[in-house]
Structures are given as C-alpha cells and as structure tokens.
Amino acid sequence: MDELILPFQTYAGKVTVEASDDAMTPFGGIVPWAAFVKKTQIFQALAATSPVVRTSNNALSPYDILTSFSLTTLCDGTHFSDVNRLRHDPAIPEILGMKRVVGDDTIRRFFKSINIEDARKWIAESSFAIQYIARAGAVGGYRLMYLEGL
C-alpha cells in the first residue's frame, strides 16, 4: 500500500492512522472524531452546563455519558443498546479522555432524569457555545456547521 499516514492529537496523545492490508478494528474512524472532540471541547462545554448533577462517588461524568452517546450515533447505532458493542475496546476511552464507555442504561437514565424545561434551557444555553465554535471558522482543520434550532 502507499504510505499515507494521518496524525491526530487525542487525549491519549498523538495517534496516527494509516492504510493497511491487515485486519484492524472497525472503530478506527473514531480517531479523527477524538481529535475533533479534543480540539473543540464541545462535550466538556455540554457536560459543564449539564442539568444533571452526579453526586455518587461511583457516578460517571456527564462528559463520559455524552461522549458515549455520541459514539453510538457516530458508529451507526439506532438504539441505546448499540453502545455496548463499543464498551470492550480499551482504546476508545483512552483516546477520548473518558473513564470508560458507559452502558445503555446509564445513557437512558441520564437523559430520562432531565425534565423538559431543564432540557430546553440546557440546549438553549449550549447553542451559544456551538455557535461560538462555528463562528470561529476552521478549527484545527475542521469546518463546523451550525444547525438552526439547536
């Protein structure tokens, strides 16, 4: 194969992606996503303004929950339970700066615990952060898009 090496800065440090004829993880596309998440800090911003207060010492952070949910949709998940196929790859939480990929019950309980008024307020407040990032233009080589109504 031609030598094409793509470097990405993730929470685990620099990760390179390159073409190979070898069998590899089906989740290699998460590396550019991890670099995007790290560069934009979008899930940190959402987690910081989350209406859900995690008080237990064993509770996972809103960052881990929101990032796990995004991974589910990124990897073509159509149900909360689809996150479970990502839970057994130790590289995923490492490159995304997570304690671990959470289970579907954790995601479901997190969103279910937010009442509708708090959800509306959270989305409205978060849209300013999304707009700010979008107005910044190209961020580390990524072009972000602001979706009206988010």
Q: Where are the domains of the chain?
A: 5-143
Write the CB contacts of 17 (distance below 8 Å, at least 6 apart in sequence): 5, 6, 8, 28, 31, 32
Tell me the C-alpha distance between 39 and 10, whole Å.
8
Radius of gyration for the alpha carbons in the chain, expressed in angstroms and rounded: 16
pLDDT digits (tens, 9 = 90+) for 24-76: 667 777 888 888 888 888 888 889 889 998 888 888 999 999 999 988 888 87
Residue type, 23: A
Tell me the C-alpha distance between 77 and 65, whole Å.
15
Q: Is the pLDDT of residue 23 over 60?
A: no
For residue 1, what are its two tokens?
A: 């194969």
Q: Are 82 and 75 within 8 A, CB to CB?
A: yes
pTM for the full predicted model: 0.74
| Mean pLDDT estimate for the chain | 79
